[in-house]
């Protein structure tokens, strides 16, 4: 039981989401390359809007030397263009994973996203995402640090009875998780 729960254990969690993460403090710990999930983490599913507080924090991180690559399971090729547009908004790299290529949590999917960033190594790359079964499991398989954030989705009923229930059960199973460094707003 402990072993199966541990593969979903993030290094940190950020209860107030991406906007609250202190990327400067993380940079001082040797991290400077960011694999960033899209849906639920920086935008709502099917939406093209990144909330301003999230965009602002990511811009500040980029100004201080962070490189960012969006890594999103787009499922089908025609859904990839949305991820490209989100990357344009954030002025960052992106990889949309879709069939028949590897998708998260496959190590190859995250390695591909890492290869889009200059000098990304297992030691300096951080994964941030809202799903234990894709983002955090993938980061742990790869051997990189990770931050789990609660989804910014208004949660629809179908998700409440599937993904969110699974997430909440995993959170309970994981017990105490250290909080990510938080910036003063």
Q: How far is CA 96 from CA 76, 90, 159, in A?
A: 9, 15, 22
Least Å from the CB of residue 131 to Mg ion: 5
From the list 7-15, 77-85, 129-137, 161-169, the region that binds Mg ion by CB under 5 A is 129-137
Binding-site residue total for Mg ion (CB under 5 A)?
5
User: Which residue's CB is nearer to Mg ion, number 64 or number 168?
Assistant: 168
Of 116 and 130, nearer to Mg ion (C-beta) is 130
Residues 2 and 170 sit within 8 Å (Cβ to Cβ): no
Instruction: Count CB atoms within 10 A of the CB of residue 119.
Output: 10
Q: In terms of Cα–Cα distance, which of 14, 94, 98 is closest to 57?
A: 14
Q: Which is nearer to Mg ion, 28 or 85 (CB)?
A: 85
Measured from the CB atom, is 40 or 120 closer to Mg ion? 40
Q: Is residue 130 involved in binding Mg ion (CB under 5 A)?
A: yes
Residues with Cβ < 8 Å from 147, sequence gap 6 or more?
10, 11, 12, 13, 14, 21, 126, 127, 128, 180
67 binds Mg ion (CB under 5 A): no
Contact flags string 20-59 toward Mg ion, x per CB under 5 A: -----------------x-xx-------------------
Sequence-ordered alpha helix ranges (H) in 19-104:
23-27, 52-63, 80-90
Which residue has the closest beta carbon to Mg ion? 40
In whole angstroms, what is the distance from residue 66 CA to residue 33 CA? 6
Residue 29 C-beta: closest distance to Mg ion, Å:
24
Cβ closer to Mg ion: 39 or 67?
Answer: 39
User: Do you find a cis peptide bond into 165, omega within 30 degrees of 0?
Assistant: no
Residue ranges binding Mg ion (CB under 5 A): 37, 39-40, 130-131
């Amino acid at each position: 039981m402990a072993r199966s729960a541990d593969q979903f254990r993030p290094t940190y969690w950020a209860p107030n989401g991406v906007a609250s993460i202190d990327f400067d403090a993380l940079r001082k710990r040797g991290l400077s390359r960011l694999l960033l999930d899209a849906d639920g983490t920086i935008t709502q599913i099917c939406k093209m809007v990144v909330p301003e507080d999230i965009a602002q924090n990511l811009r500040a991180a980029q100004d201080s030397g962070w490189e960012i690559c969006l890594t999103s399971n787009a499922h089908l090729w025609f859904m990839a263009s949305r991820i490209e547009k989100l990357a344009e908004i954030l002025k960052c790299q992106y990889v949309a994973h879709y069939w028949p290529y590897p998708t998260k949590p496959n190590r190859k999917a995250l390695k591909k996203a890492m290869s889009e960033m200059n000098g990304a190594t297992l030691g300096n790359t951080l994964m941030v995402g809202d799903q234990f079964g894709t983002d955090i499991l993938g980061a742990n398989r790869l051997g990189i640090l990770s931050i789990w954030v609660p989804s910014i989705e208004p949660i629809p009923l179908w998700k409440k009875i599937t993904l969110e229930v699974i997430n909440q059960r995993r959170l309970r199973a994981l017990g105490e998780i250290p909080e990510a460094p938080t910036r003063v707003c």
